[in-house]
Amino acid sequence: MKNISVSQSHEIIKENSSVVLVDVRTPAEYGSVHAERALNHPMESLDAERLPYGKQDEIHIICQTGGRSLKVSQKLEAAGFCNIVNVEGGTSAWHGTGLPVVEGKKAISLERQVRIAAGSLVVIGVAVGHFVNPAGFGLSAFIGAGLVFAGVTDTCGMGMMIAKMPWNRA
């Protein structure tokens, strides 16, 4: 697996029409804005064996900032794909650099949805713990532990659950 910048990826894709650009964000994120020529194969439902690409095809993987694309790149490489390219910086960098994008309806990013949900659950836990029953503080502690786990392992269970919600299905 190779890591390249958004500018390098754009140049390669522009010069070679056989290169595939795969966006692994949720359908809602993809529908909001995506790199021109990007095809959506969400990370949550991506099955390497069912992809319509050959194991020798050059496939550039992009997400929002680079974290999910790196995981998918590693997954595809482990499945035998030998020409996988991780696009560093993701769609944020692609759009920020002024490269061509397709814009649609605005959506709240998955990362923001996780922050809203986690923050809300912490506030609810504190309120329940203070006004109703001290056991409510356990909810806040559980969410805090989950956030620490997500930071250490770079895996977010809450994000995976939120990605499956109907509003993230486009």
Closest by CA position to 124, among listed 141, 147, 107: 141
Active-site entry in 43, 63, 110, 114: 63
Kindly list the distances between the CA atom of residue 149 and the CA atoms of 43, 142, 152, 154, 157, in Å, as whole numbers in the listed order.
20, 10, 5, 8, 9
pLDDT above 90 covers what percent of the chain? 88
Q: What is the pLDDT of residue 11?
A: 98
Q: How confident is the model at residue 50 (pLDDT cuts 50, 70, 90)?
A: very high
Question: Which CB contacts under 8 angstroms, 24+ apart, belong to 94-100?
Answer: 94/6, 94/10, 94/35, 94/62, 95/33, 95/35, 97/6, 97/7, 99/6, 99/7, 99/10, 99/35, 99/36, 100/10, 100/35, 100/36
Q: What is the pLDDT of residue 170?
A: 60
How confident is the model over 130-141, as pLDDT tens digits?
Answer: 999 999 999 999
How confident is the model over 10-21, as pLDDT tens digits?
Answer: 999 999 999 999
Tell me the pTM: 0.75
Which is higher by pLDDT, 105 or 165?
165
pLDDT above 70 covers what percent of the chain? 99
Position 120 pLDDT exceeds 90: yes
Q: Is 63 a catalytic residue?
A: yes
